[in-house]
Amino acid sequence: MPDAPAVDVSYFPGCSLATTAKENNQSLIECCRKMGIHMIELADWNCCGSSSAHSINHRLAFDLACRNLSLAPPGRPLVAACPSCTLRLKHAQHLLKNDGAARERYRQLWGKPFDPDLSIRHFFGLLAEVDLERLPAANGHARIDLIFAPYYGCMLNRPHALRSGSDHYGIMEKTLGGLGLRSLHWAYASQCCGTFLTVARPDIVTPKVNAILQGAAESGAECIVTACAMCHMNLEVRCTLKNPIPIFHFSEILSLAFGTSNAQNWFSRHLIDPRPLLKRKGLMS
């Protein structure tokens, strides 16, 4: 089936998708292509500053995010799929819009004024505008018979200054529901995974992660679908349960539903192997 005509967007992968979560990156680019979204990687992008920059050096957090904004070509939105990168980029833009000294610093460092019209978006914002019912890729494929626990982590939370617009709550349920999957309500859908504490305080993160995975399984989910690559990694790496249910990146399920030949490459990178479940469900040979 032909792909939809493409709309160009600038794409900011961020460090997690570029390295530890390549399967998230590849499946995202693929499912976007099928939805008519052409992801053009932001040339020479740098780390958004991650949690560490704003934790101990706010000036650096601002500057690191701003370099990325300065690289974005005008006229097309800058899209990220990592909730944390999106927040860092939007936070810098918020400062630029509201603080003359920030604008002056930007101009001096990057040799041009900042672009007040640059639209910074999370991938979910684009997804919300896609009419899946009219999408060729979304039709004609076997419906996916899976019961999933949608896991948003902390992505629905934002500081008040950045809370205008949609928080994307329910988009995983709505989108995947249209493709045959069944979602359920469960307690931990927006419980934080512990993010960077996974390195220095695994004693805190392990019980959190186990509770999340246990909670999903007890609610009757066959798998968890995550919105964030960092959450995905924490759930897989810090889980100490005996038989945890598999965890998918949202983009993997979307690509699977649209029909893909690359799933094997993605799923072989998971620490909790999802292939037995998919084979049992006839979704993989």
Partner 1 sequence: MAVVTIPKGPTIRLSDLDLRFSKEIKRLAGTDFHACLQCRSCSSGCPFSDYMDYMPNGVMRLVQLGLKAEALACNTIWICVGCHTCTIQCPMAIDIPGVMDALRERALAEHVDIIEPDILNFHREVLSSIERYGRTHKLEIMMRYKLKKFDLLSDLNVGMRMMAKRKLDLTPSRVERVGDVKKLFQE
- What are the residues binding partner 1 (CB under 8 A)? 15, 18-20, 22, 44-47, 49-60, 63-64, 67, 109, 153-154, 156-161, 190-192, 194-197, 199-202, 204, 208, 233, 237-238, 268-271
Tell me whether residue 41 or residue 145 sits nearer to partner 1 (CB atom). 41
- Shortest reach from residue 273's CB to partner 1, in Å: 10
Tell me whether residue 50 or residue 175 sits nearer to partner 1 (CB atom). 50
Measure Cα distances from 58 to 50, 152, 161 in Å.
Answer: 11, 26, 17
- Shortest reach from residue 144's CB to partner 1, in Å: 24
Rounded Cα–Cα distance for residues 205 and 218 (Å): 20
Rounded Cα–Cα distance for residues 204 and 253 (Å): 30
- Shortest reach from residue 18's CB to partner 1, in Å: 5
Hey, what are 23's tokens?
């399967």
- Shortest reach from residue 169's CB to partner 1, in Å: 11
Contact call for residues 162 and 200 (beta carbons, < 8 A): no
Tell me whether residue 65 or residue 126 sits nearer to partner 1 (CB atom). 65
Tell me whether residue 6 or residue 161 sits nearer to partner 1 (CB atom). 161
Matching residue, tokens 């949608």: 150
- Shortest reach from residue 271's CB to partner 1, in Å: 6
One-letter amino acid of 1: M
- Shortest reach from residue 85's CB to partner 1, in Å: 12
Tell me whether residue 144 or residue 194 sits nearer to partner 1 (CB atom). 194
Tell me whether residue 53 or residue 181 sits nearer to partner 1 (CB atom). 53
Tell me whether residue 57 or residue 264 sits nearer to partner 1 (CB atom). 57
Tell me whether residue 209 or residue 257 sits nearer to partner 1 (CB atom). 209
- Shortest reach from residue 236's CB to partner 1, in Å: 9
- Shortest reach from residue 41's CB to partner 1, in Å: 12
